[in-house]
Structure 1
């Protein structure tokens, strides 16, 4: 999960354009130790809630000497990607208390519904109710051509998109939903209640594909 968050941070989230780790960023503050600092930024707000708020409503709390230029990440990332990014940021000096259950709880939330209701108890799980709000955002739409490139490069060795031609190792994935792809890519798991027809349990970690979930979803429709 932390690996997936680091991948989102470095790629789709484009966080490194403004931030750095271990030094002041070009446009944003140094994130080294942010996992520890987040716990004391706002009274009665947990590190988890503060980091969620920082990603989804970045102008609510501004670090001194930095302008309010960060866009709301709900416009860029899926809810699952937001959650694994929080886990990665927590790992920078703090305690990671985002769990796979937290991520699963919000994976089916549409990006247009993501918001944050800070909670003081850092041990409390992040439920769908915790992060559902009214933040406006356009639904994320992938590029099927880019998805085809990813599929042809990595997926086809084990999966075949044609239901009549099952892959040599993995099940066919034609029509796979974003929820399924997000769960497999970000957590290496299946969505709650999903029962695959065939699971050889040998799929390697795919966190490096976190920024291609929408593209694959569009291609596999």
Structure 2
């Protein structure tokens, strides 16, 4: 009669191994439970890919403001830098700033010769022309990722923060992005990563600073080949704690990447990013 599935083990030794196996199973179960609890308490803030919008000739200020707020808090990625959080990368826009009021109150006084509407538009499409105080020049032009109707809707939303909305349909080009349509990028090499293949969350949150296949912002390191250089654990850490490891050659950019993606993104979105980046070889 065989007393154990492995005839080479004595009963006492087989019992010890069963005990060890049970402990391993328990450790795995506890670890999975811990990750589940952590994921459940991370704020679930949905990001979204910038979707084109269009406005008719009779568009109202209220419609523009509503659309602009949706873009500002979502697809535009503005809240990653413009917040009340300590160490925010940009000035507060929707709360009082150093006694000067909300952005809609102070925008007309920022640059001599520019009214509020024109200043806000220029600050979005040529942000480095109008640096505020000692903030670093890290904001990419919004027309890299957003269309003209989206940008003008955000102007209306920012004007409404303490001021009067003066944006009208006459300000918005008929064709989304027509006024600033960039030249098409060079064709990628066969097999090269392309931005069009990136998930929505990457195009909504990362493309303004990181390039893939030559497309995107040049502020941070390009993502081409990142999966061959970093493990999934290292990629996850780089997203949640960007100060942990600074990419070689980008030391001067330390502190630029927002540290609050654990709050801005959902756990699923973070894992989507990790899987996508790990596949860029």
TM-score scaled by length of structure 1 = 0.48
Query: Which entry has the higher C-alpha Rg, 1 or 2?
Result: 2
